[in-house]
Structure formats: structure tokens, C-alpha cells
Amino acid sequence: MRTLDELLHEHEFFKGFKPEHLELMAGCATNVIFEAGEYIFREGENADVFYVIRHGHVALEIHDPRRGPIAIDTLQENDVLGWSWLFAPYHWHFDAKAIKLTRAVAMDGKCLRTKCENDHTLGYLMMQRFATVLADRLQQTRLQVLKLYD
Amino acid sequence: MINLTPQLTTQQLTDPMQPEPFRVKRVMKESYDTFTLEMEPVNSERLFTFAPGQFNMLYIFGVGEIPISISGDPNQPAMLVHTTRIVGAVTKAMSKLKTGDVLGVRGPFGTGWPVSAAKGCDVVLVAGGIGLAPLRPVLYQMLAHRDRYGKVVLLYGCRSPEDILFRKELEKWRARFDLEIFVTVDYGDSDWHGNVGVVTKLIPKAPFDALNTVAMVCGPEVMMRFTAIELQKRGVQGEAIALSMERNMKCAIGLCGHCQFGPTFICKDGPVFTYPQLQSWLAQWEI
Amino acid sequence: MTLNTNSSTKYVLESTDFQQLIDVLVGIGYRVIGPTFDHNAVIYDDITAVTDLPIGWTDEQDAATYRLSRRSDEAFFGYVIAPQSWKKFLYPSQVRLWQAALSNGSFEILPDSEKPEPMAFIGVRSCELHAIAIQDRVFIEGEYVDPTYHAHRENLFIVAVNCGQAGGTCFCTSVNTGPKVEAGYDLALTEVIDHETHYFVVEVGTERGQHVLEQLPVRTADKREAKLPKTITDQAAHQIKRHLNTDGIKELLYTNSENPRWDEIATRCLTCANCTMVCPTCFCTTVEDVSDLTGQQAERIRKWDSCFTMDFSYIHGGSVRYTSKSRYRQWMTHKLATWIDQFGTLGCVGCGRCITWCPVGIDITAELEAIRQTKAKGETIKEGSDENIG
């Protein structure tokens, strides 16, 4: 069985992290598994965690009373799920549903925030990684709203 | 620089402005607004040889004429195949054609996809919406000569699950071990268990060796611009990226002036171009 | 009559014998077209007699200005150029490409069997010869040949006439297309007129031209007369007021698609398409597919089109060039830059028609210069601001 810091080390998001940082991270990590169809989190719930997806497929959904759930993004292996843990008031904005059996490492947000406050080098690294993820998602979303294929 | 000249010599047209009558053999509904026509020449045994990526001018008697790329199998030249979406008067009239009806065909015109330049390379096809139609002949061609290519990957994005073209064929191909197909939709419903998001999102994870890849991209211009950027981020050389352009066309032989894009005539210098040929112009507005 | 066939030999045709030139051409079977006076303009149209020529008229041309006035003499070719170029004959503004009829559940194309009449143009200016050569590259020398143009062009007989004066909007000297005719003619004339004499110095460009000349009552020009084509066209060249600076012209326009001058032009340009209609090189066309009321017969009509219209760049969803700024930019960039990549020459021959016939007097030479200057100014500002920072 691999240790948590080994699992993190293999993940795209943590590529280039120093061993001491990975070790710190692992201190906030838990191995999790979601069955197909299981909701990982729901809109409005407290966001005190984020997930690094190891295997599987997760849909981000918005529920519309007329149309039901609308999937607006899907995430897979090597993606990270959730950034609401970074920003007050730490609430989820969407529903996240496993559409296949999904294995992930859950990272405790509170724990991470404390570690980032104590070690700004680590904090900067995390912010940098999340900023990249956010920028990519924002760019993709911008293209998505263009309704290019109409 | 990859050579985009069609490998096949196109038939010498007597008068390139005169349509030849073709009879519809089969009509297939692909989605609520997209359909495929299979047709044969009325008066001849002409085999319609073409290079993947080339297009025809299709004429509806007395209504009008529009450019449409060929979506059929280049190894089956007895049957001419076009896939079209209803967007205007001519495509609307075309959507009403039934088996036995006749329409006019001029062509084939233009450059083709760099199919032979891709020999020995991985091939990634990136399609957006109806842009899958002009790329389908490439897949037919590659599957007919599968040993000539490395990995063959199709990344396909469209509006919604209902808009997925050639669904049965894609499912059949997806089952093959020598073809990787990834589909993503802009918006999914609860029945959709595939990817959601723009097609560019599929590029970072797609299985191909960027340094030995030829990419062929067809879709809305914005999608092609961002796809080219994403492919280059992955390490694909600009010269190894081919795009297919669309503009207003009246003659298809470089004489009417309508399809000018910078110094090029899309109809005869394209529709397939390498990315460096277009790059500086693509960034400008209203070219 | 036997003539010295040395091609450099020049001849003299008296103005009183000019009718014979028309007659010989008619006799050979040409439809003879030349300048004539109509609706207060000099236009190119069918002529049968010397008296059809705009004798004693001249044209005053300037930005958005065209008017005729009387000359002090009875010159036959005392004007500069007609509003419409010869394009209207070689590449007519409206042509039926084919007709088709439904039959047996299919359709049949009925090609137009009409054979074009051979034409002879009298009075083609040097810039216009260059314009024809440019359209030859487009319609004959490319991958695809336009059959209508080709048929007209193949049998065309050209009598060029050197310019004895420059118009107010001419700038052929900037683009090396005149005023002296150098090539591309069957016969070239230089009109010489003063108190006592009125004759034409004739130069021969082709064997066909030689054949026609041999049927005319000409004599060999003396040394002084032989020099007149150059002297007279030199005088015309000196009258030219406008200048198009072609230095690095392609790069200038390729790197200035966002020059603020385009916005300024757009405040004046009416996108009326006049410039493209009068331009002797503009070749864009559209097609109209029409059918009769019964739906049994259909035909395809080709018409001149213009990049100034919204329809021109329409693809489903909208027009690609939706602002007048981009449409003017397309036109001018095509004439002066992309044309070079497409056909190896400028698409402009300096005839000045686009300046004369622009209803608001937009001047391509001035606009190019403004773009050059705006660019230069932009660079200065940039350097200045860098200095301030330093």
C-alpha cells in the first residue's frame, strides 16, 4: 500500500513539490472513494476540503427547476476538484457528482489554510497552482459561454 | 512545411461553373438540424475521387448554391456523401430532398488534409460541431491504411449530447483498440455520462506524442484559434497543425473574390491551411 | 501598299483619314468601340464614324468631381479617361452563365451558344492597358480560366492612344503604368494637334496591327514626328499632381490593419461601392440563381459585386466584415498589398477613377500617405514616452 505522500507525489497537481512540502500536505490528506451516482458535495454546503482525483469521473452540476441537473464541467484523473475552501465564506457553489467510481485524496481545507499561513513558501506554491487551475477553467468557461456551435 | 496539395488529381472540369446532376440515394438524419445525403451521378458512371478535406458546390435547382465539404469515404468513390446543417435557404431546401431527388454538384475543389504528410506520425483530429464532417474522410482513409500511422486520436466537441454526429459510427470506432475517441459537450443532461466542457480541454490529456504529431482541426474559427494555441502548449509544432477555413464563396475557383482571407483565396489556396499560413491573419478582426 | 516592317518605325495618319481606321476594323468584322459624347460624359461605346468621337471635349477630374468642357481645338482624344473602363466589355457587369431545364426527373444544363463578337477598342490609355494585363492574370493566367473573359480577350484588337494631358486624379507615374503606352497594343496612336496640323503618330505592336496599318493611307514619320509620342507623354507626366508612395507598400499595409486612420476614413466612406464599380481591375462577382414561375427553368446570372456590401462576406450567422472600416480596409489592402501576393503586381494602375467617382472624395493616394504618417507619428510617440520613463 502506498503512503499518502506517494499518492500526492504521483498527482499532476503536486508535480514539482518538494518532499518536505508533500509531507506537510499528506498531514492534511485522507484517502476517499465515491460510488457512481454518489454526490461528493452539494451546493451551499460548507467547503472545508478539496479533492485531487486519482481515478474516475466527476460532473459539476447546477440544478435548474425546469431542466433538472445540468452538467457544466467534468473532471477526471489528475484534475483537482474544488477551490471554495480557499475563499471565505467557504461554501460550495455547485453540486459535484461521481459519474463513475471515483478515487481521490481529500485535502482538509482548514488544516491546509493553517499550514499555508505558517509557511508562506508553501502558501505561495498552493496559490500559484490554484491560480493556474482557475485560469484554465475560466478560459474554458469563456469559450463555453460563446455557444460556438450555434 | 507540410504539403496540402491533394494527392489525387481532380477531374478536369469542362466548365467549372456548370453543375452536374446527382441523384440522392439515401438521406440520413444525424441530429435535429443536421443530415447526410448519399448521391450518385445521374448521367455518368463517374467515380467521385476526392482528397479528404476537399469540398463541392451543391446546387438546388433554381434556389441557390453553397460550398459543402465532402464527408464520405474516399475509398468508396462510387458514392458521394455530404453532411450539412440547416443554416440558410439552400440548406433548408436541401434538407427536404428525398431519395430519387436531384441536385447539382460542382467539384471537388480546394486543398486536402495532410493525410500523406501524417504517415509515420501520431494523428490528432480536433473537431467542433459540424466540423466533424470534413474530418470524417480522414478517419476513413486512416482506418483503411491503419499501419501507416501511429496513434490516431479524435477529440470532438459539440453543443449537447443530441448534437453528436455520426453517433453509431463513433461508438463502433470507439470499440476499436487502434483509435482513441474523446467526445465532450458544452452542456450535459442527467443522461450524459461523458465529458462536459470545451474541446480544447481534452488536448492536455489526449494520448499522442506531441513532438511527432500532425493535428487537423475543423470547427468554428474561435475554437480553431484556441485549439491551435492549446496544441502548441502541448508541444505540437505550428507547421504540423492544419486548419480548415470557411468564408462566403460563389465560384469556388478563385475568381469571384468573396472568400479572400488576407492574401489567400479560401477556395483554391484552402480550405485546408497550415497554422503558420493563417496565424497572423486569424488574430485580426473582420479580415 | 508595302511598308517597312521594322517594328520601331513610326507612321503618320492624318486626322482626315481617321475614318478609314474605323472602316478597316469594321471591314475585318470587329465591333468597334471607342470614346463618345453621351449625357455630358465621355463614355466608351459603339462607334461607326469619326463624328461619334468626343471631338473638342475635355474632362476636368478631381476628387468627387467630373465635368466636361470645350477645348480650344478639335482634338479627337482630348479628354483623359471615361468614367467606366473597358472592363464592362471584357467582363460584362451581368452575364448569364447557363440555363437549365428540368427533364426526366433530373435537370439539363443548356450552355449559352452565343459566340462573342470580336471587338476592337479605340482609345485605350496606358493605365488601361495595364489594367487589362492585370485582369488577364486573374482570368486567363491562373489555375482556372474564365471562358467569357477569355473569349472576349482572345479576339480583342487594341488601338491605344497616348495621353496628351493628365487628369486631376491621375497618378500612373507612381505605379509605372503610363502615361506612355509601352506594350499590349496592336496599334498605338499619339494625337498631334496645333493650328495647322492634326495627325496621329502610329506605332505598331503586333502583326495584326501591321495588317491593319497596311490598309491605311499612312506615311513614314520623319525624325521629329517619331519623337513626338515621347515628348507629348512627357508633358502629360509633368502635369500629374498626385503621388502614391509605393515604398514597402505591402508591409506597410500588412502591419497597419489597426491604424487609427481606418476609423477616420470610415466616418466619411459611404460604402457605396462606386470605387469598385469604376475600378478597371476590380473583378469580384456574385451569382444569382433564379427560376421561372413554373420552376421548370432555371438560370445562373453572374453580376459584378463589391467588397463594400454587407452581403459580400456573409456566412451563416452574419457578415465577416460588418463595419465600413473593415470593408474600406479590405478594398485598399487588396488593391495595394494582398494583390501583390496573389498576382505578383499591384491591383492599382493609377487611373484615379476611384478618387473622381467617390461621392465624398476619398483619395487612395492621400489615405495611404495618412496611414504612413500616422504610423510614423505613433512610433515617435512611443520613442518619446520611453524617453520620459528613462
Residue A150 forms part of a structural domain:
no
Do C214 and C161 fall into the same domain?
Answer: yes
- In chain B, the percentage of residues whose pLDDT exceeds 90 is 90
Q: Mind telling me how many Å the CA of C128 is from chain B's nearest CA?
A: 20
The answer, for B233 touching chain A at a CB cutoff of 8 Å, is: no
Residue C362 forms part of a structural domain:
yes
List subunits contacting chain A, requiring 3 or more Cβ pairs under 8 Å: B
Residue numbers in C near B285 (CB within 8 A): 326
- Beta-carbon separation of B223 and A148 below 8 A: yes
- Beta-carbon separation of B63 and C289 below 8 A: yes
Residue of chain B whose alpha carbon sits nearest to that of A150: B159
Question: How many Cβ pairs closer than 8 A exist between chain B and C?
Answer: 114
pLDDT in tens, B36-68: 999 999 988 889 999 999 999 999 999 999 999
- What is the SS3 assignment for C235? helix
pLDDT in the model for residue C195: 86
B138 touches B73 (CB < 8 A):
no
Could you say which of 3.30.1370.100, 1.10.10.10, 2.40.30.10, 3.10.450.630 is the CATH number of the domain covering B20-109?
Answer: 2.40.30.10
Q: Mind telling me how many Å the CA of B18 is from chain C's nearest CA?
A: 7
Residue A83 forms part of a structural domain:
yes
pLDDT in tens, C167-224: 999 999 999 999 999 999 999 999 999 888 999 999 999 999 999 999 999 999 999 9
Residue C295 forms part of a structural domain:
no
Residue C192 forms part of a structural domain:
yes
Residue with cell 467539384: B107
pLDDT in the model for residue C8: 83
| Residue whose C-alpha is closest to residue C85's, from C120, C56, C124 | C124
The answer, for B192 touching chain A at a CB cutoff of 8 Å, is: yes
pLDDT in the model for residue B11: 41
Residues in Cβ contact with B272 at an 8 Å cutoff, skipping those fewer than 6 apart:
B4, B53, B110, B111, B112, B113, B114, B216, B242, B243, B244
CATH number of B122-282: 3.40.50.80
Residue C154 forms part of a structural domain:
yes
Residue type, A107: M
Q: Where in chain B is the domain with CATH 3.40.50.80?
A: 122-282
pLDDT in the model for residue B190: 80
Q: Given a cut of 80, is residue C387 above it in pLDDT?
A: no
- Beta-carbon separation of B128 and A148 below 8 A: yes
Residue of chain C whose alpha carbon sits nearest to that of B283: C257
Half-sphere exposure of C69 (CA within 13 A, CB side): 7
Residue numbers in B near A99 (CB within 8 A): 193
pLDDT in the model for residue C111: 73
C377 touches C107 (CB < 8 A):
no
Tell me the C-alpha to C-alpha distance, in Å, between residue B12 and each of B15, B19, B20, B250.
9, 14, 13, 19
CA angle, C343 then C345 then C349, to 5° = 125
Total of domains in chain C: 2
pLDDT in the model for residue B63: 93
List subunits contacting chain B, requiring 3 or more Cβ pairs under 8 Å: A, C
- Beta-carbon separation of A148 and B193 below 8 A: no
Strand C187-193 with C198-204, pairing: antiparallel
Residue C111 forms part of a structural domain:
no
CA A108, CA A87: separation in Å to the nearest integer?
14
Sort C37 into a burial class: Cβ within 10 Å, 0-12 / 13-18 / 19+. middle
pLDDT in tens, B238-273: 999 999 999 999 999 999 999 999 999 999 999 999
Q: Given a cut of 70, is residue C390 above it in pLDDT?
A: no
Alpha helices, DSSP H only, in chain C?
A: 18-28, 87-90, 126-139, 147-154, 207-213, 223-239, 249-254, 261-266, 274-278, 324-333, 339-343, 353-356, 364-389
Q: How far is CA C112 from the centre of its chain?
A: 27
Q: Tell me the three cell numbers of residue C204.
A: 505598331
Phi then psi for residue A149, to 5 deg, are: -90, 5
Q: Mind telling me how many Å the CA of C384 is from chain B's nearest CA?
A: 27
CA C163, CA C191: separation in Å to the nearest integer?
8
> Which residues of chain A are under the pLDDT cut of 50?
none
Q: Given a cut of 80, is residue B8 above it in pLDDT?
A: no
Rounded average pLDDT over C97-115: 87
A12 touches A78 (CB < 8 A):
yes
Residue numbers in B near A140 (CB within 8 A): 197-198, 200-201
Total of domains in chain A: 1
Q: Given a cut of 90, is residue B12 above it in pLDDT?
A: no
C204 lies in which domain range?
Answer: 11-92+116-239
ipTM score: 0.91
List the CATH number of the domain containing A130.
2.60.120.10
A10 touches A126 (CB < 8 A):
no
The answer, for B108 touching chain C at a CB cutoff of 8 Å, is: no
Q: What element of type H or E holds B65? A: strand B64-69
The answer, for B186 touching chain A at a CB cutoff of 8 Å, is: yes
The answer, for C109 touching chain B at a CB cutoff of 8 Å, is: yes
